[in-house]
Structure 1
Amino acid sequence: MKRLAIITTHPIQYNAPWFKLLNETGKIAVKVFYTWGRAGMGAKYDPGFGKVIEWDIPLLEGYDYEYVDNISNEPGSHHFKGIINPDLIERIQAWKPDALLVFGWSFDSHLRCLRFFYKKVPVLFRGDSTLLDEKVGIRQLIRRFFLRWVFSHVDFALYAGTNNKMYFRKHGLKEHQLVFVPHAIDNERFCNNPEVNEQKARDWRKRLNINDSDLVVLFAGKFESKKNPELLLKVASEIPNKDIRFILVGNGHLDSTLKNAANGDPRIHFLDFQNQNLMPVVYRLGDVFILPSNGPGETWGLAVNEAMASSRTIMVSDKVGCGVDLVSHKNGIIFPHGKHVECVSFLTALLENRKKLAEMNRESEKRITDFSYERIVRAVLNILDTLKTKD
């Protein structure tokens, strides 16, 4: 049985479920090496939300893992020297993997792993960077040269979508090295029990004095400049219709700024950060989900996956990495970042045509089925099968 060692910083709610599924196939042995160390597990302060966050879904069940000692003076995934594991390579070697899957290169130990194991065992790489925020200049050229060197230590890159694939191609990887492994969420958790979750959402909307007939636009995420939640307030000011509502779910450094800018408009509602177990209901509070990011760094936008699995119409800016793969005129719009005019037109049209809204909702749920954990597992197994035929 092939053995796959996975190198990543800490348990993440979007990755742990497919680690479990991969292991449960019984076709390969999986072991995850968590390089942040034990400090990477449990409640952590999230500067984006401006509060301590602890996920309420299991992240360590169904697969083998170990925490690797991290001796960084400032542990964390926010800088290169935040992940320093003197015995990581030794521990991986002791497990004797047939292949390595490394998440991210921008940590001391992860880059060391890429360099050490390349040509010893096949090296798979997962990262979701894009070219969406690139600025032309000498720094871009230097970075391009450096990243070509980094990725010269990779056998296969598992690209999440179109923008991510373009990034890898730009940095020297060949077509035969690129494997589509979509960014995904637990679609079933958001699709299951739709009647129950819809009713819970209706009850919640009533408590907010929102009518069933109102058109509700939902933002859920960090209240930070990158996400640009202020755009919702600009849209609200341009649509005086009392039958449209706006719900902003989250926290962050823009908290007070947003609430002051709302200026007491009764159509604008604020809810604090909601944990994962409630999110299938939260997305159904809205009829339309919007991610108006300005960037930089909105490499994908997994909230869009969650909203689509909840059968919602989607509005994303052109700075959201997933837009080209997940959003079209059939289930929403992609609008120029920082510009709210197209958003106003789109929502005004939906106020007049609820049948179109229902069609878009159905298209979202249909389209997201191709972006699943099961497809991730199949893709990884296919790579390992290919390696097996070469042995």
Structure 2
Amino acid sequence: MNKIAIITTHPIQYYAPWFRYLAQENDISIKVFYLWTFGITQQIDQGFQQSIKWDIPLLSGYNYEFVPNHSPNPGTHHFWGFKNPSLLTKVQSYQPNIVLLMCYNYASIYNFIFRWDTRKIPLIFRGDSHRILPRTGLKEWARRQLISLIYRRFSACLYVGKANYNYYSYHGVSAENLFFSPHAVDNDRFFSQTQEAFKQAKLWQQELQIPEDHAVILFAGKFESKKRPLDLLQAFIQSNLPQVSLLFVGAGSLENELRSQAANHPSIYFAPFQNQSQMPRTYAVADLVVLPSYGAWETWGLAINEAMCLSRPVLVSNHVGCAQDLIHPNRNGLIFQAGNISALKTCLQQAFSNRETLKNWGEESRKIISNYSYVQATQGLKDAINSLKT
């Protein structure tokens, strides 16, 4: 039996179902150590700029413990957001034979990594960082040395996709210590709700007063600069697409500016933040889902996984971490150069030049995403564990 201690920041809607899946495996026993209660208690989300609490179960079906966090300003938005002095002793008392870390760039995790005796119990890391937008200079050199030093503490690393694999390689992790554990969402939840989601989407489109004969371009997420919703708005206006509407779903710091720029356009709509139970319907209303993010911050883009579960064609920038893995150009979507509004406009025009082709792209999305599930993620973890025994 592999007794695994999993350390992660807080309950996350994408990870909790995987933990439930792992708990059902015959050869694995897990306990998740959370460093913060965000997601299960009503708290302010920095990106959405509003108080939220996820409305799907995040703590059922597996063993877990909340490690007290003494940070005066808890959160993932800064290094000192996690100060959990009892983390080491809590994990030791569980007596695992493997520790899986899902993050490291916080005070508590650094303290744990460098105090943990890796000669007795190995550490495995699963992350999703990439270097799609490379940085240079002395500061980047120093950063590379530090991260490479951290990775030497891990006996194996799990990579979620091609860009993430290259990130590990850049920081000195050898190929024999890298194992594919793809980023995944709860595919089964979305698959099982597909039929009902499309029924709800028709009604929702009417409620939003989007014309019934209009196709819908969807942006769903935080209205913040790194997500580049303003790029999409401008590209949509310039594309001049007949019988197509643009729907922004979410909230954030750019909301007022988005609404101001959209004020005189009759085919741009807004809907508030949608909780997890409403996300299948949210994707179902779309004929194309767009993620135009810029920079190093969109490490994967799990919203794209969710959209593909609902058989949606997808359009992403080349800075989105999943682009190389999930988007097959002219097969299930398109990729454009991040920050290039003209290129984004061209892609929108191409996508809606043939509605039947667009529908076929969506069907292909569902086929592709079937290979990015908790089954494959778990197999990668097991492969890494088995490698430690040889």
Q: TM-score range by the shorter chain?
A: over 0.9
Q: Which residue of 1 aligns with 2:80?
A: 81
Q: Which residue of 1 aligns with 2:354?
A: 353
Q: Which residue of 2 aligns with 1:71?
A: 70
Q: Deviations over 1:117-139 (max 9, x none)?
A: 32221110122111123321111
Figure out how many residues of one structure are paired with residues of the other and give that number: 388
Once residues 58 and 193 of structure 2 are traced to their aligned partners in structure 1, the CA distance between those partners, rounded to angstroms, is 22
Q: Which residue of 1 aligns with 2:132?
A: 132
User: Is the Cα–Cα contact under 8 Å of residues 40 and 76 in structure 1 kept in the other structure?
Assistant: no
Q: Deviations over 1:57-92 (max 9, x none)?
A: 111111111111222233222222222222221121
Structure 1 counterpart of 2:382, one-letter code: L
Q: Deviations over 1:247-299 (max 9, x none)?
A: 00000010110000002312000001000001001011110000001124111
Once residues 139 and 75 of structure 2 are traced to their aligned partners in structure 1, the CA distance between those partners, rounded to angstroms, is 25
Q: Which residue of 1 aligns with 2:333?
A: 332
Q: Which residue of 2 aligns with 1:273?
A: 273
User: Is the Cα–Cα contact under 8 Å of residues 300 and 320 in structure 1 kept in the other structure?
Assistant: yes
Structure 1 counterpart of 2:226, one-letter code: K
User: Is the Cα–Cα contact under 8 Å of residues 219 and 248 in structure 1 kept in the other structure?
Assistant: yes
The structural deviation recorded for 1:233 is 1.6
1:99-110 → structure 2 map (5 Å cutoff):
99-110=98-109
1:1-391 → structure 2 map (5 Å cutoff):
1-36=1-36, 38=37, 41-115=40-114, 116-329=116-329, 330-387=331-388, 389-390=389-390
**5+ residue gaps in structure 2?**
none
Once residues 343 and 201 of structure 2 are traced to their aligned partners in structure 1, the CA distance between those partners, rounded to angstroms, is 28
User: Is the Cα–Cα contact under 8 Å of residues 9 and 40 in structure 1 kept in the other structure?
Assistant: no
Once residues 230 and 128 of structure 1 are traced to their aligned partners in structure 2, the CA distance between those partners, rounded to angstroms, is 26
Q: Secondary structure at the match of 2:352?
A: helix
User: Is the Cα–Cα contact under 8 Å of residues 217 and 246 in structure 1 kept in the other structure?
Assistant: yes
Structure 2 counterpart of 1:70, one-letter code: N
Q: Taking structure 1 as reference, are residues 57 and 39 closer, same or farther at Cα in structure 2, changes over 3 Å only?
A: closer
The TM-score, its normalising length taken from structure 1, stands at 0.95
Once residues 39 and 222 of structure 1 are traced to their aligned partners in structure 2, the CA distance between those partners, rounded to angstroms, is 17
Q: Secondary structure at the match of 2:240?
A: coil
The structural deviation recorded for 1:177 is 0.7
The structural deviation recorded for 1:40 is 7.0
User: Is the Cα–Cα contact under 8 Å of residues 185 and 373 in structure 1 kept in the other structure?
Assistant: yes
Identical counterparts, % of pairs: 39
Once residues 41 and 348 of structure 1 are traced to their aligned partners in structure 2, the CA distance between those partners, rounded to angstroms, is 41
Q: Taking structure 1 as reference, are residues 20 and 117 closer, same or farther at Cα in structure 2, changes over 3 Å only?
A: farther
Once residues 260 and 152 of structure 1 are traced to their aligned partners in structure 2, the CA distance between those partners, rounded to angstroms, is 50
Q: Taking structure 1 as reference, are residues 350 and 155 closer, same or farther at Cα in structure 2, changes over 3 Å only?
A: same
Once residues 16 and 154 of structure 2 are traced to their aligned partners in structure 1, the CA distance between those partners, rounded to angstroms, is 23
Once residues 350 and 292 of structure 2 are traced to their aligned partners in structure 1, the CA distance between those partners, rounded to angstroms, is 19
- Mean Cα displacement is larger for which, 112-121 or 170-179? 112-121
Once residues 159 and 177 of structure 1 are traced to their aligned partners in structure 2, the CA distance between those partners, rounded to angstroms, is 10
